[in-house]
């Protein structure tokens, strides 16, 4: 009986050793099937063997094992950590606002992504506050452009300004980007008024004819380059707003697009 028990114990010990050998002897990252190393946190990226904390048991070959301190003992030379590498900062951008508080930013590019638990990338964008004031954009001109459709005659407003015969001057055109168009203009458009062409984010052509020019050869309200100025629709109550002058052309006439071109009054 004692001999039988001894045989049983011996068999159990042999089986335990065999099983342990299968489970523990070859249990490093290098013994794993491809991929030997895994990105992020992967509970299936493991083996069994000696860990970096000198404990024996389940060990991991994913990037998270460095923070969990349960990497397989060969992790640091099989799964060599690669730190993130970034380039130099760019110069600071212009302020996002030209008429108020805004921010400027600078950027840098990632040259090498981190791997195997290497150092994470630092921020790629950095911002700082700024304040800017561009008088041409922020201070609207004091004179207001009075508009009438190009197909209208100035004779409809005989008392607004005396007509003068100026033979030596030629018309010029100003192209504006519509910045602000109030809802009153939309209501007038629905009522059939000529303001249908005054729409936000559209571009209009306004002609300055010799009869509307002042002594300096310009029309009131013809604006400044890239600056905010004011306009008002002649004879249409409440239809007024602001625009940005995009371009001025000498010796030019609007009117090629009936219903969408205008005259300075």
Q: pLDDT per residue over 171-180, tens digit each? A: 999 998 888 8
- 257 pLDDT tier (thresholds 50, 70, 90): low
Across residues 138-161, what is the average pLDDT? 63
pLDDT tens per residue, range 153-211: 544 444 444 444 445 678 999 998 888 888 777 776 654 567 777 888 888 899 998 88
Q: What is the pLDDT of residue 23?
A: 39
Q: What percent of the chain has pLDDT over 70?
A: 74
Per residue in 43-57, pLDDT (tens digit) is 888 888 888 888 888
Domain boundaries, the chain: 27-80, 85-133, 137-155+167-264
pLDDT digits (tens, 9 = 90+) for 81-110: 889 999 999 999 988 877 767 889 999 999
> Average pLDDT for residues 65-88, to the nearest whole number?
88
pLDDT at 172: 92
Instruction: Provide the CATH number for the domain formed by 85-133 in this structure.
Output: 2.20.100.10
Instruction: Tell me which of 62 and 167 has the higher pLDDT.
Output: 62
Three-state SS string over the chain comes to: CHHHHHHHHHHHHHHHHHHHHHHHHCCCHHHCCCCCCECCCCCCCEEEEEECCCCEEEEECECCHHHHCCEECCHHHHCCCECCEECCCCCCCCCCCCCCEEEEEEECCEEECCECCCCCCCCCEEEEEEECCCHHHHCCCCCEEEEEECCCCHHHCCCCCCCCCCCCCCCEEEEEEEEECCHHHHHHHHCCCHHHHCCCCCEEEEEECHHHCCCCCCCCCCCCECCEEEEEECCCCCCEEEEEEEEEECCCCCCCCCCCEEEEC
- Assess whether pLDDT exceeds 60 at residue 15: no
């Amino acid at each position: 009986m004692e001999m039988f028990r001894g045989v049983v114990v011996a068999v159990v010990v042999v089986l335990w050793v065999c099983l342990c050998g299968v489970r523990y002897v070859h249990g490093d990252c290098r013994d794993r099937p491809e991929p030997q190393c895994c990105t992020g946190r992967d509970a299936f990226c493991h083996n069994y063997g000696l860990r970096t904390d000198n404990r024996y048991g389940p060990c991991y070959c994913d990037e998270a094992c460095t923070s969990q301190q349960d990497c397989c003992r060969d992790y640091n030379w099989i799964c060599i950590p690669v730190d993130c590498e970034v380039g130099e900062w760019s110069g600071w951008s212009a302020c996002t606002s030209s008429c108020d508080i805004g921010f400027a930013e600078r950027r840098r590019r990632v040259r090498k992504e981190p791997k195997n638990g290497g150092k994470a990338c630092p921020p790629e964008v950095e911002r700082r506050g700024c304040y800017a004031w561009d008088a041409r954009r922020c201070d609207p001109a004091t004179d207001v452009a009075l508009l009438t459709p190009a197909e209208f005659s100035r004779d409809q407003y005989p008392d607004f300004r005396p007509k003068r015969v100026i033979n030596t001057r030629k018309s010029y055109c100003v192209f504006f980007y519509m910045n602000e168009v109030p809802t009153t203009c939309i209501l007038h458009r629905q009522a059939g008024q000529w303001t249908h062409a005054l729409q936000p984010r559209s571009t209009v052509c306004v002609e300055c004819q010799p009869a509307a020019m002042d002594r300096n050869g310009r029309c009131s309200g013809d604006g400044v380059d890239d600056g905010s100025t004011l306009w008002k629709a002649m004879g249409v109550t409440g239809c007024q707003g602001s625009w940005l002058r995009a371009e001025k052309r000498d010796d030019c006439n609007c009117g090629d697009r009936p219903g969408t071109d205008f005259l300075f009054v």
